[in-house]
Structure 1
Amino acid sequence: MNWESFNNIAHRMIELIYINILWILFTILGLGIFGIFPATVSMFTIVRKIIVKEEKFKIFNTFWRTYHMEFMRTNGFAIIFYLVGYFLYYDLQFLQLNVGKFQFLYPVLILIFFSGLITLLFFFPVYVHFKLSYFQYLKQSFLIALTSPIEVITIALTGVSIYIVVSVFPGMIPLFPGSIFAYIVTRLGFRAFTRIAKRQTT
């Protein structure tokens, strides 16, 4: 590895650390529950710009502008995901209190859980990459995930791996986990988008 390659890698790692810190701070700024979605969209926006090698943008200014502009809209999506999560949690609690009854609901809940999960995995790269109508973001996230099993599995394994690493080394939480996950997910998202685009043109 020559010095230029090492310097580029070091510069990229510093950028990812900075983005991760901003993601945490802006999530806290929105009191967590209201900050997580706009902060995550802002992080994916920055990561996408880095991957496509967009020049002449300032990370903090772009992060803040995206966070401010997308705060209300992305929290609308957050509410949808929160409601689905609450519905699943409530129904699982209900089934645990009624052991032996309503067993037919388990497959339905599992289907809803995995549908919501794969939609969420692709929601952020879809949101920052495409210009769609409101509910088209959810529909396209689900459809792209459904037709991209390899990417879905890779994203899931990446998330589990990062979770294990930060569980063992919690001091890394302020440094890398969010931004590295966003970087990998965006890369995999681009691969899925490109493959789907090729199918549509053939």
Structure 2
Amino acid sequence: MHQEGYVYRLMVWITRLAYLNILWVLFSSLGLLVFGIFPATTAMFAIERRWIRGNTSFSILPYFWEVYKREFKKANLIVLPFVLLSLLIYINLQFTLIMNEILGNILLLFLFSISFLLLLVLIYFFPVYVHYDIKLIQSMLFSFMIALSSPLQTILIIVNVLAFFIVSVFLPGIFFLFAGSVTSMITMWFAYRAIIGLENRNERLVRQ
């Protein structure tokens, strides 16, 4: 009986994640991908945050559409700095090819360091954005702060996402059905615990 219950719950979650991934792809395409992917990603993280907090009784499509519409303009604007920074890093990488070896290696090390820090911020950005009602700069700073204060959660996110992509190499169907929803669910799951952990630590400090 218990085994049947576990199998049923597993199938429910597989269905939810597959459905959410389909919505993510469709609504990303609705905005011609370039303009649709960021609001669709925001909506996907918002839904997964609700699931993680224990709220699974709401209708997925209406809530997805609500968040997508509300965040369409803002989500595209807030991701612009990430796009510009990535472009700037890429342009500077081209300069390393024509510089002398010493200066090129120094610039290369600097660019890799900046890229790593940008990756840390990006990992936590959407979980922070859907959890708090704060401005762009605050979201980026808070994402960076959580990444540094929760190294274990950061490592777990990276390891589990990489594991998912390794599995999907051998089972390509998994990638097409779950690429967006599983990657974001892994990120939201561990990021939410990092966020709550930081909030609890701050509360204890305030009480002291």
Shorter-chain TM-score category? Answer: over 0.9
> 1:28 corresponds to which letter in structure 2?
S
The Cα offsets for residues 74-105 of structure 1, whole Å up to 9 and x where unpaired, read as 11122111111111111111111224252322
Q: Which structure features the higher share of helix residues?
A: 2
Written as runs of structure 1 = structure 2, the 5 A alignment for 1:172-191 is 172-191=174-193
Instruction: Report what 1:8 is aligned to.
Output: 9
> 2:19 corresponds to which letter in structure 1?
Y
Written as runs of structure 1 = structure 2, the 5 A alignment for 1:133-172 is 133-172=135-174
Shift of 1:45: 0.8
The Cα offsets for residues 106-134 of structure 1, whole Å up to 9 and x where unpaired, read as 23212210110000000111111111123
Contact 1:27 1:39 in 2 (8 A): yes
Shift of 1:56: 4.3
Written as runs of structure 1 = structure 2, the 5 A alignment for 1:24-35 is 24-35=25-36
Superposed CA RMSD: 1.6
Shift of 1:170: 2.3
Shift of 1:43: 0.5
Contact 2:48 2:185 in 1 (8 A): yes
Identity of aligned residues (%): 36
Bigger mean CA offset, 169-178 vs 130-139: 169-178
- Long gaps (5+) in structure 2: none
Contact 1:24 1:174 in 2 (8 A): no
| Whole-Å separation in 2 of the counterparts to 1:46 and 1:154 | 21
Normalised by the length of structure 2, the TM-score is 0.90
| Whole-Å separation in 1 of the counterparts to 2:100 and 2:36 | 37
| Whole-Å separation in 2 of the counterparts to 1:22 and 1:173 | 15
Normalised by the length of structure 1, the TM-score is 0.92
| Whole-Å separation in 2 of the counterparts to 1:191 and 1:55 | 18
Question: Which structure exhibits the higher relative contact order, with contacts defined as CA atoms closer than 8 Å and separated by 6 or more residues?
Answer: 1
| Whole-Å separation in 1 of the counterparts to 2:163 and 2:112 | 23
Shift of 1:154: 1.3
Q: Aligned residues, how many?
A: 202
Contact 1:17 1:179 in 2 (8 A): yes
